[in-house]
Amino acid sequence: MATIKKVSGEDFEVVYPLLRQLNNSHISKYEWKQLFINHWGAQEDYFGYALIDRGRAVGFLGLMFSSVMINHTQHKFCNFTSWVVQKESRGESIKLLIPVLRLQGYTLTSHTMSLDTYFIFRKMGFRDLERSLVIIPPLPKLRGFSKSHRVMVNSPTIAQFLDEENLKIYHDHSNLNTHYILVQTKHAQCFIVATRPIKKNLPFAHLHYVSDLNIFAKCIEKIRLVVCLQLKAAALLVDKRCLRGEKISRSWEYTLPQPRLYKSDYLNKDDITTLYSELILLNL
């Protein structure tokens, strides 16, 4: 019978053969190893649980911990990064999940689901977080190019314009493969964090965080063109819930293969971003 073990950074080589079985050719060994580094100073000193049988890892449930300020309150997150179990040990898969469900005081999230794990998580009380992405190609209306606002992409001066909350987000992700956008109007600004994943052999700019939706919507014509040109992206990607009903012209929706999920006694889905997740670390 297999036993459960907390996984530390030193266990990466033991678990890596399981991660390779996920067959994602876009993810290098270096990128997988990022899941075993405490990038955000979390108090938790482990990165998931391994299922060990006769000294060999036959299963792994990856976890990523973070503490995020939301609505002026600090919230603890536990994000599922991966779940893989050898075929002969799948009858014991649930052992990996049980200790996580016993955690108290955390919002649980899962952004990368298989069909099988989606139904398991739903039975465990998880709710749908996101079902669709909005695709915004660089097709602006010329009248959207007002001189009253500007869009900066990866400028070294961006940090000096940020308030305390957004500056923390900036520093938390500054050593990762992220891109920063700042939209400035005469009286306000919007800070955006993006990655540049490759999907169906095309590069996209995935916007994981938008600090001010009103400014984003007002300035979208310039944002969509400038960001796509600067990052050499085919289009912007935004989680539909992040737009909160805002309609973007000349855009369309893409339905995710499986919805993202969350479980929380403290937050609703509009409060949750993908900033502190494997979507950024693995550039998914």
CB 64 within 8 A of CB 79: yes
What pLDDT sits at residue 24? 63
What pLDDT sits at residue 117? 86
What percentage of the chain exceeds 90 in pLDDT?
Answer: 78
pLDDT for 71-127, tens place per residue?
889 999 999 999 999 888 888 888 999 999 899 999 999 998 888 888 889 998 999
Q: Is the pLDDT score of 46 beyond 80?
A: yes
What pLDDT sits at residue 174? 92
Mean pLDDT value across the chain = 92
3-state helix, strand, coil in the chain (%, to 5): 30, 35, 35
pLDDT for 210-245, tens place per residue?
999 999 999 999 999 999 999 999 999 999 999 999
In one-letter notation, the amino acid at residue 86 is: Q
Report if pTM > 0.75.
yes
Q: What are phi and psi of 26, to 5 degrees?
A: -75, -15
| H-state helical runs in the chain | 12-20, 29-33, 94-101, 115-123, 164-173, 213-218, 220-231, 278-281
* Alpha carbons 259 and 269: distance in angstroms, whole number: 12
CA-CA distances (angstroms) from residue 49 to 65, 96, 99, 111, 232? 13, 6, 9, 18, 38
Q: Report the chain's terminal Cα–Cα distance, integer Å.
A: 35
pLDDT for 1-34, tens place per residue?
788 999 999 999 999 999 988 866 678 899 999 9
Higher pLDDT, 115 or 67: 67
Nearest Cα residue to 153 out of 222, 226, 213, 214 = 226
What percentage of the chain exceeds 70 in pLDDT?
Answer: 97
pLDDT for 179-209, tens place per residue?
999 999 988 999 999 999 999 899 999 999 9
Q: Is the pLDDT score of 265 beyond 60?
A: yes
